[in-house]
Chain A
């Protein structure tokens, strides 16, 4: 199981990496913005992508649209401070499979990751 973390904050990527490691996922790759993620996604071939919304160069929603636009099917979770309903709807419409609002606890993130993967497996 390969997971791609897309967040401009190394601290946040470390936090997500720790949670995922505790869930038994160790094949984890990182990108620091949407453009970096787009350049890596074909080589990494992730089974799950966690993406932040607000990032420099290319933000998360642009990445989601670009990735889905070129036919990417990997499940994606938006992990962001953007809590407004309109933002959630926008993200879901762009192709995000699950949405986690910051602040979140390790338990919440674990739960959402499990949910997303279970849904992807069932689909």
Chain B
């Protein structure tokens, strides 16, 4: 064996590698894989197969051509840390992604509809929105002395999944109800109230949401908000479209350069309305003026501190207005005793009945055809026949329901329409009050409070300051609606 000073083993302080140095003057007979292994073992290096192979190569090299050698023969096996748990989003559901849902649509003429983009993620029940990736374990390593280098295990995903999502055995994150995906802080859930922090504009896009929507700003020209819950707009509604299946609150008001289209299935409370085309199926309360607007109200109407100037009001219930018409004698029309909302419902129900009858006929014909096979019907035919039996039964039920609703609407139209209009401050000339039978055109200014109503003969009357009801022709020209139509 060579003198100890001849062959030297150097181990890196952190144990990550080991080197051997051999002076070229050393007798080659002393340099064998066994002698090198002995030196390495004495220095504390773990003799693995790889280390032994390396030492063999170095010894062979020296014996073939003796020269100074300084070579690495052992290297540590590094620890592999585990990967942290994470969430892998499905396409279209990443809340940080651009135009998450309601992708920006490209029209036929290749023009991009930027209004259609939405910056929130709408989810439906059972949607697979993401996959929860579990953390992985680390793999320990070893240094050249064989000491273990400890690996770190991956940490669990830092995002907590709320109970509005279900994580199945495959890690799929499935929505448990409809709503908007909410990733706030370290929590992922579904909310049924959508908060829009600013305006509904190009940054936010149109909103179509199954739930309530609260808009901190306004709704810009040509944008649309469609919600099944309440809609609250803190700013102005411009020439936009609002479809709200519940209540609408817009304290500031509607100021449309063109026309805004509003359809509210329940009640609405609005600051002012300018160039609005609105159908409010429930009650409508307007705090200030209504200008050049076409409004149908299914319930009661109140604009007690404001004015109604120009446009058309279609009322089926009682109404209280501060001032009707203007000093400039602007034509302002109020249709009384109508049922605009019910009429609309009636039209929709009739259309639905036509559609259902058509579908029913089609299904019954298909069913009759399949029934002709009798016992020869295949399994597929039998499945289809079962489906058709149910479709027919369902269509018959829907048809019956629709016909009942039509009867109910007709009955409501007869009973609910009233003429009960109170003007608190002033009625101006050129105000037109129309019923199905007559058209009344106010000739002169009448100071309020003035109340318009129907007498037993369904003739329009008026009373001033709570006095007795007087014939309307004292303050207005009256023509028969039929005569006007003939003319």
Residues of A within 8 A of B (CB): 9, 11-12, 15, 18, 54, 81-83, 101-106
Contacts of B388 in A (CB 8 A): 103
Stretch at the interface among B279-287, B378-386, B473-481: B378-386
0 or 1 for each of B373-395: is its CB under 8 Å from A? (1 = yes): 00101010011011111100110
Q: Tell me the complex Cα distance, A12–B390, Å.
A: 10
> A15-B386, A102-B386, A105-B390 known; 19 other A-B pairs, CB under 8 Å?
A9-B383, A11-B387, A12-B383, A12-B386, A12-B387, A15-B387, A15-B390, A81-B379, A81-B382, A82-B379, A83-B382, A102-B382, A102-B383, A102-B385, A103-B377, A103-B383, A103-B385, A103-B389, A106-B393
Contact (Cβ within 8 A) B389 A104: yes
Smallest beta-carbon distance A28→chain B, Å: 15
Contacts of A106 in B (CB 8 A): 389-390, 393
Residues of chain B from 363 to 416 with CB closer than 8 A to chain A in the complex: 375, 377, 379, 382-383, 385-390, 393-394
Residues of B within 8 A of A (CB): 375, 377, 379, 382-383, 385-390, 393-394
- Where chain B touches its partner, the secondary structure class is helix
Smallest beta-carbon distance B97→chain A, Å: 30
Give the residue name and chain of the B residue nearest to A18 (CB): B390
Give the residue name and chain of the A residue nearest to B371 (CB): A103
Smallest beta-carbon distance B388→chain A, Å: 8
Contacts of B379 in A (CB 8 A): 54, 81-82, 102
Smallest beta-carbon distance A100→chain B, Å: 10
Contacts of B390 in A (CB 8 A): 15, 18, 105-106
Q: Tell me the complex Cα distance, A103–B380, Å.
A: 10
Contacts of B386 in A (CB 8 A): 12, 15, 102-104
Smallest beta-carbon distance B301→chain A, Å: 40
Give the 4 A-B residue pairs with the shortest CB-CB distance, closest first: A103-B385, A81-B379, A81-B382, A103-B386
Smallest beta-carbon distance B411→chain A, Å: 27
Smallest beta-carbon distance B202→chain A, Å: 39
Give the residue name and chain of the A residue nearest to B394 (CB): A18
Q: Which of A9, A101, A103 has the most CB of B within 10 A?
A: A103
Contacts of B375 in A (CB 8 A): 83
Contacts of A54 in B (CB 8 A): 379
Smallest beta-carbon distance B110→chain A, Å: 38
Contacts of A82 in B (CB 8 A): 379
Q: Tell me the complex Cα distance, A84–B388, Å.
A: 23
Q: Tell me the complex Cα distance, A104–B388, Å.
A: 10
Give the residue name and chain of the A residue nearest to B377 (CB): A103
- Listed A/B pairs (18) with beta-carbon separation below 8 Å: A9-B383, A11-B387, A12-B386, A12-B387, A15-B390, A18-B394, A54-B379, A81-B379, A81-B382, A102-B379, A103-B377, A103-B382, A103-B383, A103-B385, A103-B386, A105-B393, A106-B389, A106-B390
Contacts of A101 in B (CB 8 A): 382
Smallest beta-carbon distance A59→chain B, Å: 13
Contacts of A102 in B (CB 8 A): 379, 382-383, 385-386
Give the residue name and chain of the B residue nearest to A82 (CB): B379
Contacts of B393 in A (CB 8 A): 105-106
Q: Tell me the complex Cα distance, A18–B389, Å.
A: 13
Contacts of A9 in B (CB 8 A): 383
Q: Tell me the complex Cα distance, A16–B388, Å.
A: 13
Contacts of B382 in A (CB 8 A): 81, 83, 101-103
Q: Tell me the complex Cα distance, A38–B196, Å.
A: 46
Q: Tell me the complex Cα distance, A114–B412, Å.
A: 40
Q: Tell me the complex Cα distance, A101–B444, Å.
A: 79
Smallest beta-carbon distance A30→chain B, Å: 11
Q: Which of B377, B385, B390, B394 has the most CB of A within 10 A?
A: B390
Give the residue name and chain of the A residue nearest to B384 (CB): A103
Q: Tell me the complex Cα distance, A11–B379, Å.
A: 15
Q: Tell me the complex Cα distance, A104–B385, Å.
A: 8
Give the residue name and chain of the B residue nearest to A101 (CB): B382
Smallest beta-carbon distance B386→chain A, Å: 4
Contacts of A104 in B (CB 8 A): 386, 389
Q: Tell me the complex Cα distance, A103–B374, Å.
A: 11
Give the residue name and chain of the A residue nearest to B370 (CB): A103
Contacts of B385 in A (CB 8 A): 102-103
Smallest beta-carbon distance B198→chain A, Å: 41
Q: Tell me the complex Cα distance, A81–B375, Å.
A: 11
Q: Tell me the complex Cα distance, A104–B389, Å.
A: 7
Contacts of B389 in A (CB 8 A): 103-106
Give the residue name and chain of the A residue nearest to B169 (CB): A39
Smallest beta-carbon distance B381→chain A, Å: 8
Contacts of B383 in A (CB 8 A): 9, 12, 81, 102-103
Q: Tell me the complex Cα distance, A122–B377, Å.
A: 37
Give the residue name and chain of the A residue nearest to B393 (CB): A106
Contacts of B387 in A (CB 8 A): 11-12, 15
Contacts of B394 in A (CB 8 A): 18
Q: Which of A12, A15, A102, A106 has the most CB of B within 10 A?
A: A102
